[in-house]
Structure 1
């Protein structure tokens, strides 16, 4: 047996260079590169190894540890989990910064490899700079905080431990049913220690992602359930997209006349214009999908986790006879809603079901309900796209909201656009070869309802964790995955202010992204939530502190986001009218560097719920009648919701 003497870090880099994935007969390198922010916990270990010989790994410099990991998450998501980036940080704050993004990856079942530096395994010196000491357990470091938000965690305390750690890491990273963030903590002294690694550890390894068929018994159970039902509804989740099952899904829907609804992760698996695609379902869903969902007697969940937003906090499905069927690579998710389950790949199991249901002569009993619902919603889209406000028009789209913030913002900016109208113009402008990216605030709801996806995989929404700050980092990750497409980050001002550091990385890497920034001077989505449940506008608008009252109820803060972005070298625009927005979109597309369009957006001009309910914690005791009424409404809805 031959050996090769390498440091732990050098061996890790050599190992990553020899990992490949095979899917549907196509083989490609699994780890495209590594995002780095170097510090004293990794620069002399992993940094030295990468400087000496990165192999085929592309080394990219991040600006914020959370941001670079979010970019890696978005890259893997857009690659439909078949290719990843690794990310390395220093000890302490650098490692801690990655934890939020690790949770984003795991909540969405997206593979990402995290390689944080760690304190000395020898504990000499101890404590090291940036170390968090625990009196009750000297073995704990900041990296232990990754345990709740990762699918696999290990610490390499000796060089030879690297081998079992990385074999297990690859097992999880390539497991379609149970993937997410993987953390391999690397003490800084161990990174630099040498070991005689066996040469076979560096042999080329091909990880085969198989399309697993459900068992014969599972498929028979599914067939028996479907043929008993008259009005099934498909819910297309992220697993359907990662399975690349769009065409097979359309065949299934068409053959049996079954409508399709979409989750945020599943949207653009099938183009929005497909006649059986009703669009988004649930809390951020539209009227068409939610109306059909209420009467459906069977919900067929394809690669979905059935989150509260998808199920309307389990209150959406009103038919007393409704049952659930799931197809999912994850046995855990397949069991949701006490469903009849098929554990396996969406595409291959749809093929099995098509064949068997044709034999049975099955058809749904829908007549004009699907087309009527879709036509009704398309008329509502047209209305929302065409809303206009003048200086004397301040009626909010969202019921129960006051008009003060609209008028004040309008006067502050001189003019401003309704949010739904701006989205409509952007959607009309983007025809093909684009990807739109989003994550948080009111925009995901508006986009799930209003965005017409014309191309497959053109809609990239992180809504499993709905992490503020994902949007711009995510756009960079998508651009790395789809370099020939225009990528647009749809982001609110609140989320932009939280994290936009990787906008600088996009300039450095010459990877153009387009930031569409909706500025309404506040956390508008949460402002709607509090006011819609009986509270006032409290702590969610961006206002100066009032010296007289001592509260944050002074005037609205005005920020020139375009000017800020110019300082980074970004081509930027400020728009307040439809004409200005159209001109900016045209010019931005011509640019070769990243762009930012600061869209001054009227508050309270986003969409509202369409026959859906979201269970939130409303105060049981209050001195406001409006909150008391909201509590009663919430309690009534909870009583009627399903309990599993």
Structure 2
């Protein structure tokens, strides 16, 4: 089987139904196979649009989006869309053509080091050196893109590997020793968070994009209603709680609502879930929530303490963390009226 045919077959096995892209010389062998495939190809006007379309498809469907371009300018035109997907934790696979292996590093026509260019803006990237590796690389790329903190992965295909014939193994299991995403929260950290929330008089929850990505909206609302804690969202977290919910504060930050900004500043305990404390949400970070103790939940350990040092860090999937906190809270929590605190919320929302 040729490398190009192996790529298309591997994509089908990953459940890919649509690819956004633009053909070019260095990726034509794949397009020749794709022509007779069940996978739908949507021809874009520009490669940047292909990357953005794959990103949008991933957000709307919850599946991994796929985009494709040729080498050189085709590959570099994907970069803005890949970077956007990386910053917003959107799972996409970018497939690029490349000059034949013998010409790599020799400034061949439309040769670009797309691996080097995209290293800072992808979770991982691969350059295929042997056609037989294609099934394993595709399976690995989809696994990395769709697990942990989701994000883009790039596969670079030299043209001759697309034409090379090889024995293919589509059933090989992947083992990534250095990649083990953490999903379940540490019980001790959950217990600490629950104790802090029980003691709180002015609790606030801030929901970020991690809540949306984890499909944890119902868990978020259940916890908020148990605590009687108002909920603000980041831009990426919009939709985590209905805007007309009595506990909804709207969006936090420089483009946010008066209620969200004032209430967060007055909180004595802030539960931040799946957010990165960006400048758009915090404003002057030194003055953010000055008297509050912060519990930070995020699936990406590198986000914990990057911008704000939390009192209680929890590395976990948002859904699993919210479930654990809520179940422990119910066992110990005696519901407080919080009439003064919630009255202030309603007053600021007017």
Say whether the fold is shared (TM-score over 0.5).
yes
Q: Which residue of 2 aligns with 1:8?
A: 3
Q: Cα–Cα, structure 1 residues 244 and 17, in superposed 2: closer, same or farther, change >3 Å?
A: same
Q: Which residue of 1 aligns with 2:67?
A: 87
Take 2:41 and 2:116, find their aligned partners in 1: how far apart are those partners? Answer: 26
**Secondary structure, aligned partner of 2:109:** coil
1:328 aligns with 2:310: no
Take 1:48 and 1:272, find their aligned partners in 2: how far apart are those partners? Answer: 48
- State which structure, 1 or 2, has the greater radius of gyration over its C-alpha atoms: 1
Given that 2:136 and 2:170 are in contact with CA atoms closer than 8 Å, whether structure 1 keeps it comes out as no
Given that 2:47 and 2:78 are in contact with CA atoms closer than 8 Å, whether structure 1 keeps it comes out as yes
Take 1:124 and 1:359, find their aligned partners in 2: how far apart are those partners? Answer: 62
1:224-243 deviation digits (Å, cap 9, x = unpaired): 22223221210011111122
Given that 1:299 and 1:325 are in contact with CA atoms closer than 8 Å, whether structure 2 keeps it comes out as yes
Given that 1:293 and 1:316 are in contact with CA atoms closer than 8 Å, whether structure 2 keeps it comes out as no
1:404-446 deviation digits (Å, cap 9, x = unpaired): xxxxxxxxxxxxxxxxxxxxxxxxxxxxxxxxxxxxxxxxxxx
1:231 aligns with 2:202: yes
Point out the more displaced range, 216-225 or 162-171: 162-171
Q: RMSD between aligned alpha carbons?
A: 2.4
1:100 aligns with 2:80: yes
**Secondary structure, aligned partner of 2:25:** coil
1:101-500 paired onto structure 2 within 5 Å: 101-123=81-103, 127-131=107-111, 141-175=113-147, 177-198=148-169, 200-201=171-172, 212-320=183-291, 322-336=292-306, 337-339=308-310, 340-363=312-335, 366-378=338-350
**Secondary structure, aligned partner of 1:338:** coil
Take 2:204 and 2:66, find their aligned partners in 1: how far apart are those partners? Answer: 39
Q: Cα–Cα, structure 1 residues 353 and 74, in superposed 2: closer, same or farther, change >3 Å?
A: same
Take 2:118 and 2:46, find their aligned partners in 1: how far apart are those partners? Answer: 17
1:36 aligns with 2:21: yes
Given that 2:101 and 2:158 are in contact with CA atoms closer than 8 Å, whether structure 1 keeps it comes out as yes
Taking structure 1 as the reference length, the TM-score comes to 0.50
Take 1:181 and 1:348, find their aligned partners in 2: how far apart are those partners? Answer: 23
Given that 2:10 and 2:139 are in contact with CA atoms closer than 8 Å, whether structure 1 keeps it comes out as no
Take 1:124 and 1:276, find their aligned partners in 2: how far apart are those partners? Answer: 58
Q: Structure 2: where are the runs of 5+ without partners?
A: 174-180
Take 1:254 and 1:13, find their aligned partners in 2: how far apart are those partners? Answer: 48
**Secondary structure, aligned partner of 1:195:** coil
1:514-564 deviation digits (Å, cap 9, x = unpaired): xxxxxxxxxxxxxxxxxxxxxxxxxxxxxxxxxxxxxxxxxxxxxxxxxxx
Taking structure 2 as the reference length, the TM-score comes to 0.90
Deviation for aligned residue 1:76 = 0.8
Deviation for aligned residue 1:171 = 2.4
1:281-310 deviation digits (Å, cap 9, x = unpaired): 111111101111111111111111111111
1:49 aligns with 2:33: yes
Given that 2:234 and 2:252 are in contact with CA atoms closer than 8 Å, whether structure 1 keeps it comes out as yes
Q: Structure 1: where are the runs of 5+ without partners?
A: 1-5, 20-28, 133-140, 203-209, 379-644
Given that 1:211 and 1:348 are in contact with CA atoms closer than 8 Å, whether structure 2 keeps it comes out as no
Take 1:257 and 1:178, find their aligned partners in 2: how far apart are those partners? Answer: 29
Given that 1:105 and 1:180 are in contact with CA atoms closer than 8 Å, whether structure 2 keeps it comes out as yes
1:608-627 paired onto structure 2 within 5 Å: none
**Secondary structure, aligned partner of 1:42:** helix
Take 1:317 and 1:365, find their aligned partners in 2: how far apart are those partners? Answer: 26
Q: Cα–Cα, structure 1 residues 198 and 376, in superposed 2: closer, same or farther, change >3 Å?
A: closer
Take 1:277 and 1:211, find their aligned partners in 2: how far apart are those partners? Answer: 29
1:382-405 deviation digits (Å, cap 9, x = unpaired): xxxxxxxxxxxxxxxxxxxxxxxx
1:580-601 deviation digits (Å, cap 9, x = unpaired): xxxxxxxxxxxxxxxxxxxxxx
Take 1:375 and 1:277, find their aligned partners in 2: how far apart are those partners? Answer: 13
Take 1:185 and 1:72, find their aligned partners in 2: how far apart are those partners? Answer: 17
